[in-house]
Each structure stands twice: as structure tokens, then as C-alpha cells.
Amino acid sequence: MKYRFPEDFWWGTATSATQSEGRVAGDGKGENIWDYASEHFTERFHGGVGCSEASTFYTHYKEDIQRAKEIGLNSFRTSISWSRLIPDGDGEVNPQAVAFYNAVIDELQAQGIEPFINLYHFDMPMALQQKGGFENREVVDAFARYARLCYELFGDRVRYWFTFNEPLIPAEAGYLHPRHYPYVSDFGRAAQVLHHIVLAHCKAVAAWRESGRQGKIGIIMDVIPVYPRSDSEEDLQAAKMADLFYTRSINEPMLLGHYPEELLTILKEVDQLPQTQPGDCELIANTRVDLVGINYYRPRRVKARETPLDASQPFVPERFFEEYIMPGRRMNTSRGIEIYPEALYDIAMVMKNTYGNVPWFVSENGIGIQDEEQFMVDGQVQDDYRIAFLQEHLSYLHQAIADGSHCLGYHMWTFVDCWSWQNAYKNRYGFYRLDLATQQRSLKKSGQWFRSVIDNNGFGEA
């Protein structure tokens, strides 16, 4: 076995509540921003398909968990829907949600699968969004209360908790480059949202520590490694700035306990510093996580700006760099993103050398392909491209572990084809194909391959 992984390695998959659960009449769930946006901004979603048409995990969780067992998963990451558990975000608890999440956790454990539970995956309750969402500091305390309730309700069985998935995204995609509701383009508001998310994370971690329960508390980060066009001083500076705004801005407060000084200096110069209160910096400085999930899909390639942006226009980080389209790059043409497995090794070395070799795992990695039906033979998707993708990424991860990075596992996105933000079901990522008309699941060839990887705790030639 050429690529053999450490004993007790976490082999799993990842999904989220909004992307997988779906809704049924009378389930008591409150509306979140995706429920609202997919009803009122239908044109922003591929085919007009909203999240109510997700992959029905709410009603099929038992069969899906059995399928997870059949391919050998020893861990499974999902999220709790804040608006399902607390319909208005800060009021009464929905007993049907408590029963559902208890049943999911109990079934996972009965099948020998470790639940990894995330508290926030982009899904702000609409009632709180109407009060400003994470722009409103009161929502920070509402999130802390929600976290405490989750620990009280489920913390006797869940050993691995995560506060946020990709905490930069609600700020960047919701308030700077408008891909998520509320579709705002305002750097100052984005910076305020990001600061409040950092505080919400810190308070949720503190609530876990105060609970005295056994287990680990962590966060799931979206790391997009930055590569410059060349070694010129200008291109290197462009890469430094892209990394500062889109990676270090969130990684350093979450993992090192402080914002980068260079970032604060720039934001002060352009009058974009978020409002803070006494004690904020101390709270951030005193918060540490036990475990980090890393989501990786693509690299970021940049160059020095060749067409300067108008300084009189609203501030954006792209003032300091622009995208570089590298000749000959490998592309996933369905998704429009570069495939670069080598970056997973580079990320692992950053975790080792910059962030104190904190224990971490790959919490998302995968490839989304459009029209997978074209690869069906005798009723099965022959997704050899997904197997090759996994082999390449896992081979670089294996090398990183050999070189001392403290990686504990690998979770692929995703288990059953699920609904995606904006793209709905355009691109499919799962080990199981979902037939949207019938909701039937069928195992793809990659799922069979992954079962063999788990059985052998590794694989042969990449």
C-alpha cells in the first residue's frame, strides 16, 4: 500500500443543514436567509431551484446514515440549522428540531460513525437578519445563547464541535462581493460583520469551555492559498495583499488571537476599521481552539494591478492586486475553477509552520461536475475523474503528514448530491447520485473506491 494513512484517521464526508435537510409541512422550522432568498431572488439560483428542494435528509436521515455505514465512513460532518432549532433565532426552542437532531446523532453513533457538528453554515435566521444579522452586535449574544443550547441538548454525545464554517464568507459574499443575501457591496459593513463573527466564535468557544463537557471545540476555515504570477517585487506584494485580506484577516484572529497589524494599518488609512468595544481584543487574544477544519477547492493566482482602480471609488481589497490567469492551468470546466492538488501540501505546511501545528483535518474537498448522467453505465455514474481527483489530493496530503503536519482526517464534499449556494444542483459532488425527481440515491463508482480506501486505510498508485 503506497499511501497508507495513520491509524484512527478520520475518513468521512461533509454537508450542511440548509443544503441537505429540506423542509416538510409542520416541521416548526423558521425561515433563514436562504429560504427567503431562494423564494424572492429566484433568478440568482441555477434553474430557479431553492433550498426547500434539498436532498431530504430530514426525512431520509436513517437510510442515508445506513448508506454512510455501508461505504465505511467513521465520521460525518453536518450542521445544525439555527432557524430550525430556534425559529426566530433568539426565542423558544422547536421541540421537533430537538427530536430530529437527537435522532440523527443517536443513529450516527449506533452505526459507529462519529458526528462532527457545526453551528453555523451561512444560514442566518431571517428574523435576526431583519435586525441586521451579524452587523448587529446583539446577534453575537444570540449566537452565543444558541451555542450554549446546542451544547446542553446534544453535548453529552457530540465530541467534536465547530463554531463556523468558512467565517469569512458571510462577510465577503454577503457584504462585499454580493453572491449571498443580503447582496450588499460595502467594505465597511463587511468588516463589521467579520469582526462580529470573530466575537461570536469566541463567545461560543467560551460557552463550550464553561460547559465542562468532554470533547473538542474548533472552527472550519476556507483556505485559498495565494500564488503570485512571478517573483517580481510587484507580484509578490500583490500576493501578500491578497493573502492579507482574504486569508490572514480571519485566520490570525481565530488561530493566533489577533488581527494582522498590517491590515489594521491599511484599514485605518482608508477609514474602514470596524467599530469595537473595550474587551474585544482581550476576548480574541484569550480564545484558542482545539481543532481546525480546512476547506480546500482551488488556489488563488494574482498579479500586480495593471489597470489601477479609481481611488475615488469605494474601497475594495482588489485595489492592491488582480486575478492572474495562468497559461496551461488545469480547469474543472463545470465549476470554472482551477484544479491544483499541490496546494493541499502547501496548506498543510502553513498549518505546521505558521499556526503552531494545531491538529487539523480536511473538512471539505471535492469536485463538482455538471451533467454527470453522461457518465452513467448500467445505472451507475462512472466518475473516474472524481477518483483521480481524490487520489491526487490524498497523495499530497499523505506527503504532508509524512513531513510532520498534524492532519487527522479527510472529509469529502459531499455524501449525497446536495443543493449548493447559487448553483443549486448544477454541479454534483456526491458519492451518491441523487435523482431529483424520485429522491432515489445510487452509489457512484467513486463511492466504491472510497470504501476500498477506508478498508485499507490507504490506496495504491495515484
Note the pLDDT tens digit of each residue in 397-417: 999 999 999 999 999 999 999
The model's confidence at residue 52, banded by pLDDT at 50, 70 and 90, is confident
> Within 113-229, where are the H helices?
126-129, 137-154, 168-175, 187-211
Catalytic residue among 21, 107, 135, 166: 166
Q: Is the pTM of this model over 0.85?
A: yes
**Spatial separation of the C-alpha atoms in residues 348 and 401, rounded to whole Å:** 8
Q: Which domains does the chain have, with CATH numbers?
A: 3-459 (3.20.20.80)
Q: Is the pLDDT of residue 462 over 80?
A: no
Cβ-Cβ contacts under 8 Å for 43 (sequence gap 6 or more): none
User: What is the distance between the alpha carbons of residues 338 and 334, in angstroms, rounded to a whole number?
Assistant: 11
Q: Are strands 10-14 and 75-79 parallel, antiparallel or unpaired?
A: parallel
Say whether pLDDT at 316 is over 70. yes
Cell output for 232 = 517580481
> Of these residues, 107, 338, 364, 372, which one is catalytic?
364
Structure confidence at residue 373 (pLDDT): 93
- Hey, what's the cell of 238? 500583490
Is 43 known to be catalytic?
no
pLDDT at position 219 is: 98
Strands 216-222 and 226-228: unpaired
pLDDT confidence of residue 53: 79
pLDDT tens for residues 185-226?
999 999 999 999 999 999 999 999 999 999 999 999 988 899
Asked if 364 is an active-site residue, the reply is yes
Per-residue pLDDT, 383: 97
